[in-house]
Structure 1
Amino acid sequence: MEMRAIEDIGIGQDLTPPLRPLAAVVHDAAFGTRCSACFTVLPPQPFPPSALNFPGYVPTDTRATPLYCSLACSAADSPLHFSSFEHRLIALFATSPPSTWHSSTELRLSLRLAHVFQNLPRYMSFLGENEKPGGCLERMAGLMTNREKFVFDEIKKALIARDNKSSGKVKRIREGARMMAWARGKDVSSGRFAFEETVLCLVMTNAVEVQEMTGFCIGIAVYDATFSWINHSCSPNCCYWFLMGPGDDEQPPLRIAPASKDGRNVSYLVMGGGISDRNGYGPRLVVRSIDAVSKGEEVTIGYLDLVQPKEMRQAELWFKYRFSCSCKRCGAVPTSYVDHALQALRTDNPKNPEHSPDEIEKLVQNLVAAISGYLVTGDAKSCCRDLEFLLYDESVEPKEAELPRRVKLHPFNHLSINACLSLASAYRVRASDLLALNLELEGNHKLEALNMHKTSCAYYLLVAGIVNHFYAFEPSTVVGAANLWIDAGASLLNLAGNFLWDDDLQVDSLFLLLECDGCRDVHKFERCQKRQLDKCTAKIASNVWCFLATESNFLKFIENPIDFRWLKSPAASEVSDADSGLQVEKCIHHHEIKMDLLLLSTHCSRYAAILSSICHGLPTNFRRYQH
């Protein structure tokens, strides 16, 4: 199935009204911080579930107990929490953690959907009519389950290969279905969990991460066919965003309609429809155009992170959804510029030595291991040490002080981008930890915290600049670019206002910062085009970069984190350690550096607002995301 526009739609317009989910749950880690009904941040004194005396209720760790922002949310959500036996699954995870499931999020969502489906008479008749041999349902509520591909196809492959061992995914589905059946009070000794397996496969196929505008994930949800029938493209014309909290009375029209692959209209939208209308809880979803969509044109979204090379996207799509993408970006010959850049291995600097295939493979493995290790352990110090060692080559010592460090990977390479994001986070964590341990910093500790803070800012700014560079060639990266500009602006603002500074310049004097060579007054600044903001931001970034990048040998290689024209000229990419040191010394002794940081922060914030207005429909207030 697919969805098509029923009228011409311009860039930055809503295609759907806010859609309620069929079911939604917060992530395990969000218990105690987010309302389990509307997903908003909990108040200082959250409300407990309204069904504590529900039959069969088993008290669990309060950190895994749903909490709510109001009595209305508690009344809307907690009956489903208990009647779906979600609380029993949480207790099972606490007492007997499963071998293949590290989080209960997908299983809890599956329990909720199973309860919703089995309590709809119209839907139960649909089950009986469409059940295939072996208990496999191709669709539930109009949504693909993919159980046949996830389970039966894998088993067939194992039989053909004469391998009695089930694949990891099959084992995970079987174990998850067994836990669901136990939570629902079934006899698990029979080993028959076809219904639970099917619902779990539906969740694995159709669930989407619920994200704030900053890109932070707080839960998952499944929506009906209005959204779930929208197909994937690696160069989509639409994106989606979420509304938390109570809804309003305004309901924009639905501007898309379902159609079959041959273009014929489909007469139904949701089998057993109206499910989402009955729930009345969960984050609402809005589909929004990021490119012009003509009447009758297919509407597409991205199912995954689009700042990845083609091979990685195809592998992830097959693993998660069992299909291969054939969109215009994936089928481009020659490869599109963005995909080519994401796989670039070296810069144009002839002094950079070529690496053998074995060296490249080892480098890739080590980078992946270091990034994964930081995400799992949170060891910020090891992350900074390992990743920066991998990003530049210390094995080739320069003969003269003016020679640059040998950079192993091109800054545009996807692993280099992920490494820089990890480093930005790790340096921020280290600076915060140092401040927490030493409330009255003096001398070397003060300088160390400042250096970590500014290095974090530099990495955020670099990644924002790289993804913004991609946005000029691939409009679908607008969501990532908006989020990264928010992070860069917030980080720079915090650095400029940090108490580590010795001078008395106040951050509250931001009204002085709305003037620059390209933006003469606040009214013109608000209407400033993206191209002008790019130009202004790149100029200001070049003024402060020597100050931000001084502590990282990898960052010293970067001449400008916003304007990458220097990468085309090998001579321009050679930044000497000696010259960088002189520039840093000069910057540190100039009072204007703090003003430049504030001005750069303001430009990042304004540019994020322009991009966010395309993705989310509302101008982004920079201070909202300062946390």
Structure 2
Amino acid sequence: MEMRALEDIEMAEDITPPLFPLTSALHDSFLSTHCSSCFSLLPNPPISHSPLLHYCSLKCSLSHSDPLTAAFFSIHPLPDASSDTSDLRASLRLLHLHLLLSHPSPSLSPPPHRIFGLLTNRHKLMTPQNGSEVFLKLREAANAIAALRRKIYADISPGTALEEAVLCLVLTNAVDVQDSIGQTIGIAVYAPTFSWINHSCSPNACYRFETPSDSFTTRFRIAPSCTDFVSDEGTCRQMGNVRSNILDFMREDFQGNGPRVVVRSIKRIKKGEAVTIAYCDLLQPKARRQSELWSRYQFVCSCQRCSAVPLTYVDHALQEISAVKVELLDSAPISNFDHDTAVRRIDEYVDNAITEYLSIGSPESCCEKLQNLLTFGFRDEQVEDGEGKQPVSLRLHPSHFLLLNAYTALTSAYKVRSCDLLALSSEMDKDNENRHNALTMSKTSAAYALFLAGATHHLFLFEPSLIASAANCWVVAGESLLILARHSSLWATTTNTSDWGFPLGKRMCSNCSWVDEFNGSRIHGRRIQADFREFSIGISNCIASISRKCWSFLTHGCPYLKAFTDPFDFSWPKTNDGDIGGHGIDRSCACSKTKDICFECEPQDSNQERESISGLGIHCLYYGGYLASICYGYHSHLASQIQNILNDLN
């Protein structure tokens, strides 16, 4: 099954109207703050018919009436905080809907391979021989639901086949739902008009979620494409009728509630071409993507990116590792090391550092561990050379997917450390050591955010499907740079900031006109006229030019980042003979390689430094907004976030 374009579709166009879900469920942690029907924030007080579910209005309460869910959780209380019941609650609602629409009674017929036109994957997921944790949880939930139904209905046949099929359907077809600020708050399952859109690791479309207040006029510009096949629901045409009946039922009885999804093109799509989206994180190497897709959806991706021989440049960069023997103290690489074992061990190291930071609240430990990994490499002993295992130093390519995670964590951890130090500093003591260290931490946070944006952009130029990741990274970089530039208490040691402001008009770049063009597009809905690739490269070149003026200043005190000439340099870091011992990172000033001003070597007015950083931040924000407008439209949560930041500046 797949969806194909009914006409030629240009980049950055909505190709479906907002689609309502068949079933949806908030994650447990949001049940007390969001409406269980439409997922909007709850009023005070909310409407509640049970200790579990709360609603923002009577309409949502009535449309979300579900006796199976109410009966189930009256018997089975919510588990502890370590687990989540959203999959189970979504399955109960879908089963309730299936029972209402099924004739004859589904209890008297075998479970179909498809329900509402959606593949259940029961025959793959419910295989006892695999003994997986997923199988055990599915079987336990199916038994509990079947026991409940036998108390309610008299004609229930033995077994749990239908319950298993519905649970597997949700596991296979559910997508994560994000709210207006981009956080994942629940899951939803949509009808075939969305769920039949296949996966690709180089997709030509993406999707966004809309609130009930958003207006829409988009028509369907895609249609299902399949060959007739024999199944419990008959031919493809008959399945289309089933889909139509479902939508009619939801409009009449569900009143159109639930988180709505809109599909949008991120590339040009020709008439008759299959529309594809991503089912997994595209900033992972091929093996990781394939493992995730098989684990959840039970298929092996054979898209153009996955089928490329040799690997695409992006997939190679995302997994490239260099290994050298510690005793040799040189950079001669070795090849007889276990790549998968190395990745697993480094992954555990990075994950432990980040988990410790997030769960225990230890940014200092996280920074120390990840900085050691970046600067000195990862020590491992696994290479056999006839004398037993020899210690090796493993280094990851600057665009390796584990390092992208490390940059993200360091951006946050250094920001937290800066805020903590500022809280300890004295307003009266302008030379306070805490204040000075806070400035260094804030600079490092902004530098890692900018480096992450540069790395993602570097990969995006080779794989345009990474546009959404690039958009988010540029917005984070812009915000981090502006936090650094505007925080007067950070700069109070070197300059009088009493009359220093951010008049936005003075921050516009004299070398490019794309900021004004983007503003016109965002405000008036005009299409940007320049060729996308030409436009993107032009913008990034302008950002790179500004970055060189303050890169040395931002990376002062950070040996790893100083090894790169600028945030767009993604060659291997410069090293020398002492590299293995951790002393070979090139700490020389970047001014030796460029004619730009180096704030570290030449004392400059702090206002000049702040001018460059604030201008760079604004450029990053606008570029992120431009990319986000392609993925999500001009009124997305990222566009609103950017506008709020810029309003604060003025």
TM-score (norm 1): 0.82
User: Could you tell me which residue of structure 1 aligns to residue 402 of structure 2?
Assistant: 415
Name the aligned partner's letter for residue 208 of structure 1. V
Q: How does 1:585-624 map to 2 (within 5 A)?
A: 586=602, 590-618=606-634, 620-624=639-643
Q: Is the 8 A contact 2:173 2:189 kept in 1?
A: yes
Q: Is the 8 A contact 2:19 2:260 kept in 1?
A: yes
CA distance in 2, matches of 1:509, 1:183: 64
Q: Is the 8 A contact 1:178 1:191 kept in 2?
A: no
Offset at 1:367? 3.2
CA distance in 1, matches of 2:71, 2:558: 48
Q: 1:197 to 1:360 in 2, by over 3 A?
A: same
Is the aligned partner of 1:453 residue 2:432? no
CA distance in 2, matches of 1:462, 1:414: 14
Offset at 1:453? 2.2
Q: Is the 8 A contact 1:391 1:554 kept in 2?
A: yes
**SS in structure 2 of the partner of residue 330 of structure 1:** helix
Gaps of 5+ in 1: 60-64, 159-165, 397-405
Name the aligned partner's letter for residue 85 of structure 1. T
Q: Is the 8 A contact 1:224 1:276 kept in 2?
A: no
CA distance in 2, matches of 1:622, 1:478: 18
User: Could you tell me which residue of structure 1 aligns to residue 556 of structure 2?
Assistant: 550
User: Could you tell me which residue of structure 2 aligns to residue 536 of structure 1?
Assistant: 542
CA distance in 1, matches of 2:561, 2:609: 18
**SS in structure 2 of the partner of residue 430 of structure 1:** helix
User: Could you tell me which residue of structure 1 aligns to residue 304 of structure 2?
Assistant: 328
CA distance in 2, matches of 1:185, 1:546: 70
CA distance in 1, matches of 2:177, 2:564: 35
CA distance in 2, matches of 1:37, 1:360: 47
Name the aligned partner's letter for residue 221 of structure 1. A
Name the aligned partner's letter for residue 39 of structure 1. F
Offset at 1:569? 9.0
Is the aligned partner of 1:260 residue 2:226? yes
Aligned match for 2:175, one of 204, 208, 226? 208
**SS in structure 2 of the partner of residue 298 of structure 1:** coil
Q: Is the 8 A contact 1:464 1:485 kept in 2?
A: yes
Deviation by residue 1:131-168 (Cα, 9 ceiling, x = unmatched): 54xxx4311111111111001xx32x45xxxxxxx222
Is the aligned partner of 1:246 residue 2:265? no
CA distance in 2, matches of 1:600, 1:183: 60
Q: How does 1:434-453 map to 2 (within 5 A)?
A: 434-435=421-422, 443-453=432-442
CA distance in 1, matches of 2:421, 2:397: 32
User: Could you tell me which residue of structure 2 aligns to residue 230 of structure 1?
Assistant: 197
Q: How does 1:275-294 map to 2 (within 5 A)?
A: 275-277=249-251, 278-279=253-254, 280-294=256-270
Name the aligned partner's letter for residue 273 of structure 2. E
User: Could you tell me which residue of structure 2 aligns to residue 171 of structure 1?
Assistant: 136
Q: 1:199 to 1:336 in 2, by over 3 A?
A: same
Offset at 1:525? 8.0
Deviation by residue 1:280-308 (Cα, 9 ceiling, x = unmatched): 22221111111111111111111111111
Identity, in percent, stands at 37
User: Could you tell me which residue of structure 1 aligns to residue 69 of structure 2?
Assistant: 85
Is the aligned partner of 1:482 residue 2:471? yes
Aligned match for 1:369, one of 348, 351, 364? 348
CA distance in 1, matches of 2:279, 2:500: 44
Deviation by residue 1:467-489 (Cα, 9 ceiling, x = unmatched): 11111111110111111111111
RMSD after superposition = 3.6
Aligned match for 2:60, one of 56, 72, 76? 76
Q: 1:433 to 1:489 in 2, by over 3 A?
A: same
CA distance in 1, matches of 2:106, 2:321: 52
Q: Is the 8 A contact 1:538 1:563 kept in 2?
A: no
User: Could you tell me which residue of structure 1 aligns to residue 287 of structure 2?
Assistant: 311
**SS in structure 2 of the partner of residue 392 of structure 1:** helix
Aligned match for 2:589, one of 579, 591, 600? 579
Offset at 1:454? 2.1
Q: 1:530 to 1:197 in 2, by over 3 A?
A: same
Aligned match for 2:565, one of 551, 559, 564? 559
User: Could you tell me which residue of structure 1 aligns to residue 34 of structure 2?
Assistant: 34
Name the aligned partner's letter for residue 557 of structure 2. E
User: Could you tell me which residue of structure 1 aligns to residue 481 of structure 2?
Assistant: 492
Q: Is the 8 A contact 2:176 2:184 kept in 1?
A: yes
**SS in structure 2 of the partner of residue 257 of structure 1:** strand
Offset at 1:340? 1.3
Deviation by residue 1:96-153 (Cα, 9 ceiling, x = unmatched): 549xx72122112222222222222xx3448479x54xxx4311111111111001xx
Q: 1:392 to 1:457 in 2, by over 3 A?
A: same
Q: Is the 8 A contact 1:85 1:184 kept in 2?
A: no
Q: 1:78 to 1:584 in 2, by over 3 A?
A: farther
User: Could you tell me which residue of structure 1 aligns to residue 46 of structure 2?
Assistant: 48
Offset at 1:600? 0.8
Q: 1:221 to 1:437 in 2, by over 3 A?
A: farther
Offset at 1:430? 3.1
Is the aligned partner of 1:138 residue 2:113? yes
Is the aligned partner of 1:501 residue 2:491? yes
Q: 1:592 to 1:140 in 2, by over 3 A?
A: same
Q: 1:480 to 1:520 in 2, by over 3 A?
A: closer
User: Could you tell me which residue of structure 2 aligns to residue 403 of structure 1?
Assistant: none
Q: Is the 8 A contact 1:424 1:457 kept in 2?
A: yes
CA distance in 2, matches of 1:331, 1:368: 25
CA distance in 2, matches of 1:385, 1:273: 55
Deviation by residue 1:308-367 (Cα, 9 ceiling, x = unmatched): 11111111110010000111111112211111111111499x964536755866653343
Stretch of structure 1 that moved more, 577-586 or 470-479:
577-586
Offset at 1:578? 4.5
Gaps of 5+ in 2: 230-234, 380-392, 521-527, 592-597
